[in-house]
Chains A and B, each alone.
Chain A
Amino acid sequence: MSSEMSRARRHLETTRKMKDMLPRFFARMFERRFSNEPLAWCMVGVPPELLKAFDLLWEWPENFGTLCASRLVAPRFIEVAEGDGYSQELCSYVTNTMGYCKLFKESGEAPPESPLPGGMGNPAMLLGSGFVCEPRWKWFQSIATRFIDVPVYSSDPLAPPWDIDPHNPRIEAHYKELLRDDLHGQVAFLEKQTGKKLDPDLLREIIIRSHTALAYWRDTLALRKAVPSPMGSTDYFSAIIPQMYMVGEEEAVEFYREMYHEVKARVDNKIGITGEEKYRLIWFGLPPWFNLGIFNYLEDLGAVFALESTYNVGDWFEVDDLNDPLEVIVQRTWQRCVKMHDYGAETMPELCNPAVFGGFSGSRLLEEAVRDYSLDGAVMHLTRSCRAVSFGEVHTKNRLAEMGIPSLIFESDMADPRLWSDSQIKTRLHAFLETVDKSKKERR
């Protein structure tokens, strides 16, 4: 199995430099962990700015899942969870954590397979988020029930369905009240657990730095409209890490600023990532973290991804009135939700993400993406254990077909390499590129 998997080859100097930057950051974090400073395990959807404002240490079990996947140790943890009764159908990020936690509890220390030295640490609290999917509701509930008995707060950001008008003031008030009260509930929980009062001035400063970094990140992604594509998916999926861990740090702003300038220079000098850029594609779904080299494999065939739907920072997060920083989070969540809703949210109704990373599948956004990024085709990863993100791919495929854009849906998983069928997937990718080639010629 392992021989079929290959690690990512990054194209940007900035993302390659992460190999120095992140260990430095993690070393600082681990030092604090050893001093027994409170650590929170968090889910994507928890605003990282808030964690930083409380000066918490935090860890993302989802990201730990991607790390375990990339080091091919996830199956070890997943099998332990399966032995405990967790179905193979359940989210492999979750089963990875459940297996890890079981081994951790049994031995009293991080399992030797952990790709992070010291593992994920001993959390003092669990901060969940119901954004995107329900496994995330059950995940921390199960951890706190079975393995680590610590307080849990799960936030509950709901969004209006696709056929309800979010511009209706009553609807806006209805949803915003829930968002606001939920966020205040989260703050009250953090104040209780940390014994600290939220400092609004500090939170405002952190949000400003966070949004500055995100604006560079967003502008970098917009540069990918250029032909040839100046960066690849391996850079993209690596570059989400600083925003997850280093939000509000000047170093994160610097990282995204530097990346922007590097990508801009590549655009100006027409530097691409492959010899001949034959096909420009969009990626849907979570990547196979255990085999990010598949993106490089496609690049060697002349196929580049100019856009990815998952973890996309998108736009519309900047808020003019920064006076009340909690209200900034409410407002940015809502305005992003409304904008995505306007693009069509029939299959991705989970639009209220209090953090900024999200995904998209809006029908009308697809039209813009195809036009602006000069797309020739779409590759969609149908992740067996994550239906929440892969749901809607058939619909997206239908919508793209109406625009004459071919799509390939292939099946595997984001963290469980046991579901990767290398020769079958590569055969399908080769056949798909032939389809794209034909379709491109027909559209000319």
Chain B
Amino acid sequence: MISGADIMVKCLVNEGISVVFGYPGAAICPFFDSLYDSDIRTVLVRQEQNAAHAASGYARASSKVGVCVATSGPGATNLITGIATAYMDSIPIVAITGQVRSDLIGRDVFQEADITGACEPFIKHSYLVKDTNDLARIFKEAFHIATTGRPGPVLIDVPIDIQQNKISGFEYPEDVDIIGYKPSVKGHPIQIKRALELIAESKRPVICSGGGVLSSGSKPVFAEFADKTGIPVVSTMMGIGVMPSDNKQYLGMLGTFGTVRANRALLETDLLILCGARVGDRAVAAPHQVAERAKVIHIDIDPAEIGKNIQTTVPIVGDMKNVITVMRDKINYHVSDEWKNEFMSWKEPEIKPIEGFVEPRTFISRLSEMLRRKAILVADVGQNQIWCANNFKISDGRFLTTGGMGTMGYSLPAALGAKLARPERDVFVVCGDGSFQMSMSELAVAVQSDINVKIIIMQNGRLGMVREIQDKLYGSRYAATILGNVPDFAKLADAYGIKAYVATTNEEAENAVAEMLESDKPNVLICQASPETPSR
């Protein structure tokens, strides 16, 4: 006989899961008890939302599924923001929640919440398990759904009696057969042919790469396609890292906070090739204007993204890797010298440093040179995110941030997950003093679980990005955006036993980074940034 909880652990083992992020509670105790005997490492976070973010960071750094666990009621509802974040960013995570006893569901008993119902609008799929015999099939399906098609979060809600019940045996299914879920992976040959024809006719083509290029693992093929054609590449925030930052063809991030060159490319192009990008409003503020000027090829695994935000001349539904491989093989096109010379002549405005402070943008640029190849930088949300997006020079590394949901507090827990997935790489967090305070409780996890992440706090005593909006649109009335420079982050780090550095100039900041890189323990670097430094 085997209990439901033991089955759940065996399912995770079968899926190759070696670490879960979670927080226990009464309704999920049987599962944690079974985990206790297993080889799966359990990382105890300090708030459930951060378990979901850590799972997201783990998934993005490892290309595997991130798993987070919480108890029923408040544990489950705390997960919600993390689940919604993974949904908007298309990250494969599986969230496991405990639930009250099946026969008590609906009676509003202690710590009961309808979590499958609550997550409905922002989750790829969810299960409420009603029979221990269904567990193995449901886990198999959940991992399949999370990772295939457009990746996303899946929730499995397991009542405590389902975890406790014993059944005669366990067999993990080999295959999945979900009648209503058969994502198309191969692009339609006729559409690909039409796309190639459009490219051949174009004078000023531009490729816009999104997160889909990275999550489909097609970065190398994509680079070959770009190289063969010479077409300039811009990226969305989620697509940063598809091309090395120093590649001459790469024009940076587009959108509200993007580079001059990327946005210029969007204005000048006569053919926009969207690759795994959903044309979010922050990336393309007025998509209909772009569609009026240019033809659009849109390649995406999710048919619902095509035609949703921008009119498309040629839609291609399929896995990016498949589609772009075919296109790379078949294409016989190179951009004209005229277009090449033009887009390569565009320049970014110079950064003007402010005396007496760390200049975040030049420092981030310098930081990327100091890190080892393949380093992972996790940026939070706000000005710090834009500073990193535009100035972190990336080659083989990763830039992780939540571009879709924009959830403050993402960076530290996501970095913990990323470091566990890639212990051999440098993992750096860059956040603001606002976003850091949303998840600073997780410093305890870095220490307790010995996870060597380096945390850089850009302290300007402000919610900088909102303040910028207030400057622009609200007559500089700083309603609720002054943080007041509390707490003393160095003392706080000290309380956790973490060595902290404070820098007021770029030189001090660089020296601190050099020292931090020598240590195999987590560190905190507090950079005093000027409130007057703009996002870009």
Answer yes or no: do A and B interact: no
Interface residues of B (CB under 8 A from A): none
- Chain A interface residues (CB < 8 Å from chain B): none
